[in-house]
Amino acid sequence: MINRIGIRREDKNPWEKRIALVPSCIERLIKKHELEICVQPSSNRIFSEKDFSRKGAVIKEDLSDCKIIIAVKEIPKEIIKKNRVYMFFSHTTKGQSQNMPMLKMLKERQCTLIDYEKIIDKKGRRLVFFGTQAGQAGMIEVLSALGKKLAKKGFQKNPFEAVMQPYQYKSLAVAKKEILRVSRYIKKNGLKDALTPLIAGFAGYGHTSQGAQEIFDLLPGEEIKPGELDEFIQGRKYSSHKVYKVVFKEEHMVEKKEKNSGFDLQDYYNNPEKYRSKFGLYLPHLTLLMNCIYWESKYPRFVPNKALKKMFKNIKYPKLQVIGDISCDFKGSIECNSYATTPGNPVFTYDPIQDEIKKGFFGNGVAVMSIDNLPAEIPVESSVYFSRALEPFMPKIAKADFSKDFDNCKLPSEIKKAVILFKGEFTPDYKYIEKFIM
């Protein structure tokens, strides 16, 4: 088992075609670091078994003799082996109930769990992630949903109808070409008056938001500062031959409950209970909302249901058509997000007046796109990007001494921060999770 790494197939859902290490990275790890890498066969993966075997990987079904087993998504609890080291996105650090049985099994079988989401540098920045690709795929999904929703409302042959879902394109490059065609149409023909100005709001400014903005910026656009939005609308400073974006930071989305108090970001992080959402001020101006910001239950909801209800009650024809909840926290920062959608059924409609949800596009409610594995829709680009970020850590992880105690196992510091369980025991930073599996 020395220096032997197993890569399991992804089988959480039929849309998952990614892999944590791509063939070219595997070849370098084998040649430069003398690692043995075993790849479980998969008929669904974006890379073929021949792609891996040509680069020196061993194709085998049984990974029980591998020291370390890596994946992208959660591993079913039924196949967890005793005393193994597992690496994957566990989605457990918020106490997510659906993954507690898996975490309990890992603990009972004295496993070590390393979660990619918690691999961070000294400044707390994530080092191994799919955020950019989630933003890219999410924006394409939302533009596609916008085209379908507008068509349902009678806006036939609107330019966004041409945009397909990301998984329907051969590559991200092909999807971008399609959106550039939409861009040329808007430049030449403009949008109908009822759609003008088309404004997309981006909640957050990190990698996910940047990925979403990268796609939106392919359209002929202009950026508006949040504080200038009212004047922009009232002064009719817009054109039907452009689209507009607004990027919202925390200071634009929340305010102190205490009147006449300024905003302080660190105070907000330390004392979120002192703050409330003020995002309802901007909602009436937006056609699209991309939620790309990290959220925990201690923070105020940015878009509570009552804010949507107020807007739909007071405005005869609300502008807001689609919410792309890329962060996908159920009943979280976007309160109406009740469940994860899939590429096969990418949206549901939330009716704020009736407080009801229906699958697909219905009525005058807002369409919500809440796919929770968006990067899987652009599997080549996602796998390559992720693999390049993970590759530098793999030799040291493979050569770590997991027979020693946690302090002396010789894992790099960035990886040690991501160890949730070590030989079946919660590490100091994650002992709080234990209460969720009792």
Task: Judge if 272 and 388 occupy the same domain.
Answer: no
User: Which CA distances in Å does 218 have to 29, 176, 247, 320?
Assistant: 37, 8, 16, 21
CB 348 within 8 A of CB 357: yes
Last residue of a domain, one of 328, 360, 377: 377
Among 360, 377, 394, give the residue marking a domain's end: 377
Per-residue pLDDT of the chain (438 residues; tens, 9 = 90+): 457 999 999 998 899 999 999 999 999 999 999 999 999 999 999 999 999 999 999 999 999 999 899 999 999 999 999 999 999 999 999 898 999 999 999 999 999 999 999 999 988 889 999 989 999 999 999 999 999 999 998 887 899 999 999 999 999 999 999 999 999 999 999 999 999 999 999 999 999 999 999 999 999 999 999 999 999 999 998 999 999 999 999 999 999 999 878 899 999 999 999 999 999 999 999 999 999 998 888 999 999 999 999 999 988 889 999 999 999 888 999 999 999 999 999 999 999 999 999 999 987 899 999 999 999 999 999 999 999 999 999 999 999 999 999 999 999 999 999 999 999 999 999 999 999 987
For tokens 């409609």, the residue is 349
The answer to whether the CB of 292 falls within 8 A of the CB of 208 is yes
Same domain, 359 and 432: no
Using CA atoms, how far apart are residues 373 and 231, in angstroms rounded to an integer?
A: 38
- Residue 102 lies inside a defined structural domain of this protein: yes
Residue 263 lies in domain: 131-377
Question: Which residues lie closer than 8 Å to 107 by C-beta, 6 or more apart?
Answer: 421, 424, 425, 426, 437
Residue 169 is classified by DSSP as S
Query: What pLDDT is stored for residue 259 in this prediction?
Result: 83
The answer on 160 and 20 residing in a single domain is no
- HSE of 232 in the Cβ direction (CA atoms, 13 Å)? 21
Element (H, E) at 347: strand 347-351
Regarding whether 52 and 150 lie in a shared domain, the answer is no
Last residue of a domain, one of 377, 406, 421: 377
Same domain, 388 and 362: no
Nearest to 394 by CA among 89, 87, 80, 130: 87
Tell me whether the omega of the peptide bond preceding residue 41 falls within 30 degrees of 0, making it cis. Answer: no
255 assigned to some structural domain: yes
Look at residue 311 and tell me if it is in a domain: yes
Of 144, 196, 118, whose CA–CA distance to 417 is shortest?
118
Contacts of 419 (CB under 8 A, 6+ apart): 112, 113, 114, 406, 411, 427
Structure tokens at 258: 């205490």
Q: Could you list the beta-strand ranges (E) of 45-186.
A: 58-59, 68-70, 85-87, 112-114
Rounded Cα gap, residues 18 and 173, in angstroms:
18
Q: How many domains does the chain have?
A: 2
| Domain co-membership, 362 together with 394 | no
Whether 126 maps to a domain, the answer reads no
**Does 163 share its domain with 97?**
no
Asked if residue 125 belongs to a domain, the reply is no
- 383 and 373 in a common domain: no
The secondary structure element, H or E, covering residue 323 is strand 322-325
Are 214 and 334 within one domain?
yes
Q: Are 96 and 137 part of one and the same domain?
A: no
Q: Is 14 a member of any domain?
A: yes
- Contact (CB, 8 A) for 149 and 361: yes
Those residues whose C-beta lies under 8 Å from the C-beta of residue 269, and which sit 6 or more positions away, are: none
Cα–Cα dist 280/201, whole Å: 12
Assess whether 97 and 171 both reside in one domain. no
Is 267 a domain residue? yes
Chain mean position to CA 353: 29
CATH of the domain at 191: 3.40.50.720
Indicate left, alpha or beta for 329 from its phi (over 0: left) and psi (-120 to 50: alpha). beta
Residue 332 near residue 295 (C-beta atoms within 8 A): yes
Residue 192 falls inside a structural domain: yes
Cα–Cα distance measured from residue 210 to residue 202, given in angstroms and rounded to the nearest whole number: 9
Statement to judge: residues 338 and 387 lie in one domain: no
- The verdict on pTM exceeding 0.95 is no
